[in-house]
Amino acid sequence: MGFDSITKINLILELEKELKIKLLDCFMAEVVCVKDIIEKIEKLTFKETIDFETDRNIKDLMLKPPEIRELKQIKNRNSIFNCLKEYMVYLMVKLLAKSGFFIDIFGVELIEKEHKPFLLAPNHSSYLDGLLILSVLPFKIKRKLFFIGLSDFFKNTFLKHFKETIGVLAFDENSEPLRAIKARIYAIKKSYSVCIFP
């Protein structure tokens, strides 16, 4: 269907209102066409009536605090221990990137000058993109940046050990679009920047 995260959440809210049922935020996972939506609705076994005076709207949902694990990860980002680990990983990645790649970057001074949170949305060309971006940013900018990553990539690989150290908030955007959006908004409210690969 080509829906982005916000469109998926809007569709869930409209279905709830129209059908007077409560749907999970992961309802749109594995939905490819309208037929999939109809089949999923027909298979629902538990239906909860929604009180229309308190029905959900996207703005309120997105501005709610994120899940406990994201709250904890964002709050723990500034611990001394995490900062030391992050600096060691940063130096290692910088050294490897400089010895293996020629990277030309410009415009970082514009980010440094602003001192405000920003969204970074680079093209995704390889699995190394996040690490290469990490290697070219000054550490003071990197310390205030979260990467958004695919949860499977950080669950099933050796990178799971570095997820918190390099500042990755990992989600399956297909099945948890609202969870991912809430975490990003919360991080930005806490003066962190966010790198998301479209």
Q: What is the pLDDT of residue 193?
A: 94
- Cβ atoms 193, 167 nearer than 8 A: no
Helix (H, G, I), strand (E, B) or coil at 49: coil
Q: What is the pLDDT of residue 152?
A: 78
Q: What is the pLDDT of residue 187?
A: 93
C-alpha 144/C-alpha 165 separation (Å) is 12
Q: Where along the chain do its domains lie?
A: 5-57, 68-195
Successive 10-residue mean pLDDT values, the chain, 198 residues: 80 86 79 87 70 69 86 88 91 89 83 86 83 88 90 76 84 81 92 89
pLDDT tens, residue by residue, 60-86: 888 888 888 899 889 888 888 889 999
- Cβ atoms 40, 186 nearer than 8 A: no
pTM of the full structure: 0.78
